[in-house]
Amino acid sequence: MTAAAAHREHARTAPDPAAVVDLRGVRVSYGQDPALRGIDLRIAAGEQVAVMGPSGCGKSTLLHVLAGVLDADEGTLRVLGEDLGRLREKDRGQLRLARMGMVFQFGDLIGELTLRENLTLPLQLLGGRPARIRAEAEAMLERLGLGEVADRRAARVSGGQAQRAAVGRALIHQPALLLADEPTGALDTVAADTVMDALMETVTEQGTTLVVVTHDNRVAAHLDRLVGMRDGEMVG
Ligand code: ADP
Ligand code: MG
């Protein structure tokens, strides 16, 4: 092998220490059905990436792999500097809790709790001081325009308000990586825009690396890098 070829081979296979996400040849199947057919994806710190593709192309599967809740059958995946395939379950859980945030299509707030209580949950799990937790929740609720409805139960607010609170809950502990799965998929376009504006503003201010999967061009337009996906593969 020539020196140049060796260098290219090294660049292709060696982990990229600066990348927040570094996936090589990741394959996942559900039984016999392949959902990811060899995904290569590198995302640098602070990048804001939209992964776009039609329903069923593997977007949610990709996010589950990134979050470490689904194992890859093949390939290597480094996320936040950790080799997810080698981490113990307990350490993966800790990585997720401390350094990742997640937003889902249907918010998944606890309906019986107020928005304020929903927002404080991650900080309580991480063990902050009560006064500090209260102050941080208050600040996040204000910045998301939820001050007036902070003490309403999550089941009693509009879809857009609930989804903004879900964004707040995902970002309140200032995670390094935010994973969002069709975060506005259940909203009308007006509410969707307010949620994406709130999400992008907070992420940009905190310097969070962002991966949003969506099939919606309007959502993708908020982000600065676009990655296409089709039938379990990256395209374009
Ligand atoms: P997307 O989020 O892009 O709609 P998914 O990642 O949910 O796509 O699904 C990719 C493929 O894997 C689809 O063909 C889907 O039917 C299949 N799939 C997803 N989840 C499961 C599961 N838990 N069991 C079996 N097949 C699944
Ligand atoms: Mg999906």
The H-or-E segment that residue 102 falls in is: strand 100-103
Q: How many CA atoms lie within 13 A of 99 on its CB side?
A: 17
Residue 2 lies in a domain: no
Question: What is the pTM assigned to this prediction?
Answer: 0.92
Residue 7 lies in a domain: no
Residue 10 lies in a domain: no
1 lines ligand 1 (CB under 6 A): no
Residue 33 lies in a domain: yes
CATH number of the domain residue 213 falls in = 3.40.50.300
Range of the domain at 230: 17-235
> What is the CA(18)–ligand 1 centre distance, in A?
30
Candidates 27, 28, 29, 30: which one to mutate for ligand 1, based on the most atoms within 8 Å of Cβ? 30
DSSP assignment string, 213-230: EES-HHHHTTSSEEEEEE
Q: What is the tally of structural domains in the chain? A: 1
DSSP helix/strand/coil, 71: coil
Residue 106 lies in a domain: yes
Q: What is the pLDDT along the chain (236 residues), one digit of tens a residue?
A: 677 777 776 666 666 777 999 999 999 999 999 999 999 999 999 999 999 999 999 999 999 999 999 999 999 999 999 999 999 999 999 999 999 999 998 878 999 999 999 999 999 999 989 999 999 999 999 999 999 999 999 999 999 999 999 999 999 999 999 999 999 998 999 999 999 999 999 999 999 999 999 999 999 999 999 999 999 999 97
Residue 5 lies in a domain: no
DSSP helix/strand/coil, 10: helix
Is the alpha carbon torsion for 23, 25, 30, 34 positive or negative? Answer: positive
In the structure encoding, which two tokens stand for residue 99, read together? 């350094």
Residue 203 lies in a domain: yes
Give the other-Cβ count within 10 Å of 3's Cβ: 7
Residue 98 lies in a domain: yes
**3-state DSSP helix/strand/coil % of the chain, to nearest 5:** 40, 25, 30
